Amino acid sequence: MELAEAKRRIRERAELNAFISLTEESGPGPVVAVKDLIDVAGTVTTAGGIILPRTPAAADAPVVKRIREHGCVVVGKANLHEFAYGVTSINPHYGTVFNPHDPSRVAGGSSGGSAVAVAAGMCDWAIGSDTGGSIRIPASLCGIVGFKPERGSIDTTGVIQLAHSLDTLGPMAGSVAAAAEAYTWMSGESLEPRPVGAPRLAVPAGWVADLDGPTAEAWALVAAGLPEVQFVDRDRLFQAGLSVLLFEAAEHHRRWAIERPDQYGADVLRLIKRGFDITRDEYSSALASMPALRKEADHAMRDVDALVLPATAIVAPTAEAAYEVREPLSRFTRPFNTTGQPVVTLPAPVKGLPVGIQVVGRTNAGAVAAAAWLEQRWRALVA
C-alpha cells in the first residue's frame, strides 16, 4: 500500500476514530499502524489518556526498530481504550473507535484503532497489545486476523504497561500469512504460515456456552465434528489472570488515580480502584499459580495440536450497550493470558457481523500452522 493512499483512506473514514495522531514519515512501506502506547520516535505516546507528558518520544521502541529494518513506515498512532484497560475502545478523550462493518457498533478493545485500521484498509497491518484479549477481541469484532504470541516472544520495552506479567505485543492483519510475516519482523522468529497437513483440533470440554445468536450459528458451523478434550477449568484461569491484572494495573496507576482521578474515564478509574482491593497475598498466590496452570494446559493438549473456540461470546455490541459487555467479550480470551499460550484469532466463514474464532496452540508455530489450515479450509465456504 502507498502511504498517500493509506492517509487518504484515513481521512475518508475519519468518523471511525481509528487514529489519535498521524506521522510525517515517508517511504514505500509496508504501511503500519502502531497502537498509541508504543513509542515511535517523534510522536507523543498518549496510551489513550491525557495524563502522560505531551513530549514526543526520543527513540523508537525496540519492536518499532525491528519492523523498520524491513522497510516498514508508521502511518500513525492508533486509538485505543484508555491505557489499554477495556474491551470496547470507547475513549472519552479521543473518541469512540467505531466498527467499519456497522458504525453504530464498537470496534472492541483495547486495540480497537489497530483493528479498524486493518479492516478499513488504512494500513497493510498493525501492532496491537494483549493483556486479557486486547488483540483478539477487536480482531474478532472487526473481522480480521489477530495474533497474540506466546508471552515473552516480543520485547515490550518502550511500551506503556498495563500488567507487566501479562502484557504481550502482536500483529493484526488481513490474513494469517500477513500476520505471520509481521510477527517475524516484530520478533525475529521465523514462522511458516502455510499448513503442512491437517492439524489435530479439539474443543475444550464445557467451555463454550451462552453465545448470542450469530456467534452460536458460526460456532455450530466451525465446531461440527470436532472432538472435545478435558482442559483446565476456565474460571480458574480467568480469575487468576484477573487478579494479576487488577493488582498490577492498580500499582502502576495508584498515584495518578489518587491525585488526578478527574483525568481518567469513569470506567477505567473504576477498574483501577477495584484493584486496590486485591491484597498482595492474593496477587502473589495468583501469580505463583500461573506456571503450574500453563503446565496443566500443555499436558491437557498433549494429544492435540490446537484448541478451537470462539474469541467472544457476542458479536460487536452497539455503543450504547457496550458498557455492560466486559464479561462476554473477555470470557474466552483472558484464560490464555494466564497460561501465556499463543493464540490466533481469525474470522469464521459467515456473512453479516464478523465472528472471531480462536486457535490456541502450544507453540507460536503450531498456532499459526493450525490457523492457516483452517483459513484455507474456510475460504471454500465463503467463496
pLDDT at 264: 98
Cα torsion 182, 185, 188, 192: sign: positive
Place of cell 491525585: 259
In the set 7, 35, 77, 148, the catalytic residue is: 35
pLDDT at 170: 98
In the set 89, 111, 114, 134, the catalytic residue is: 134
Give the model confidence (pLDDT) of 227-246 as tens digits.
999 999 999 999 999 999 99
Cα torsion 366, 367, 369, 374: sign: positive
Does residue 110 have an active-site annotation? yes
Give the model confidence (pLDDT) of 247-279 as tens digits.
999 999 999 999 999 999 999 999 999 999 999
pLDDT at 383: 62
Give ∠ CA 167-355-304 in degrees, rounded to 5: 65
pLDDT at 174: 98
In the set 110, 165, 187, 330, the catalytic residue is: 110
Cell digits for 220? 455450530
pLDDT at 380: 78
Domains and CATH numbers, the chain: 1-383 (3.90.1300.10)
Question: What is the torsion angle, in degrees rounded to the nearest 10, for the CA atoms of residue 281, residue 284, residue 289 and residue 294?
Answer: 160
Q: Which of the residues in the chain have pLDDT under 70?
A: 195, 383
pLDDT at 195: 67
Peptide bond into 30 cis (omega under 30): yes
d(CA 80, CA 97): 7
> Which run of H or E residues covers position 245?
helix 234-259
Place of cell 495518578: 256
Cell digits for 311? 474469541
- In this prediction the pTM is 0.97
- C-alpha distances (whole Å) from 340 to each of 93, 167, 290, 306 are 31, 10, 9, 14
- C-alpha distances (whole Å) from 287 to each of 15, 164, 252, 364 are 41, 11, 16, 23
d(CA 214, CA 217): 5
Place of cell 498456532: 367
d(CA 87, CA 168): 16
The SS3 call for residue 249 is helix
d(CA 373, CA 169): 24
Task: Report the chain's terminal Cα–Cα distance, integer Å.
Answer: 25
